[in-house]
Amino acid sequence: MAQHQYRIAVYTGGEEGAGTDANVYLTIYGTRRSAGPIKLDNSANNFETGKTDHFTLGLSDLGRLKSIKIRHDNSGRKPGWFLNKVTIDGNAKFSAYRWLAKDEDDHRTWVKLRRD
């Protein structure tokens, strides 16, 4: 099975308290297959207010990317998170512009997003 290096960029909002210390997981849905949930983590302090975090995932070719599901496990001192958007390989964009928090909006810690 051919490997593809997917470059993921996750954009956290600039709102007060937008960052999270919770563990974040991504599932990617393509026309050929899906992958995940995959924990997004690297050596940086990820998902801080106003920051963009970058990850590279070596996965089987998923085909044309259709949608994603992104969630967190509600762990840590302040787990609520304002997610602006996710881009994959620079051209597949998934806009959220919403809270993923038990105490905000619809109280969900996950969202499924269609490609813009």
Q: What is the pLDDT of residue 1?
A: 57
Among candidate residues 38, 54, 44, 4, the one with its CA nearest the CA of residue 21 = 44
* pTM of the complete model beyond 0.75: yes
Please, what's the largest Cα pairwise distance for the chain?
44
Tell me the three state secondary structure of residue 45. coil
Q: What is the pLDDT of residue 43?
A: 87
Q: Residue 50 has what DSSP assignment? A: T
Task: Give the CA distances from residue 83 to residues 47, 62, 72, 116, in Å, rounded to whole numbers and listed in that order.
Answer: 9, 24, 11, 15
pLDDT tens digits, 48-63? 999 999 999 999 999 9
C-alpha torsion angle, residues 77, 52, 12, 73 (rounded to 10):
-50
Tell me the three state secondary structure of residue 81. strand
Q: What is the pLDDT of residue 26?
A: 98
Q: Are 8 and 57 in contact (CB under 8 A)?
A: yes
Tell me the three state secondary structure of residue 8. strand
pLDDT tens digits, 60-86? 999 999 999 999 999 999 999 999 999
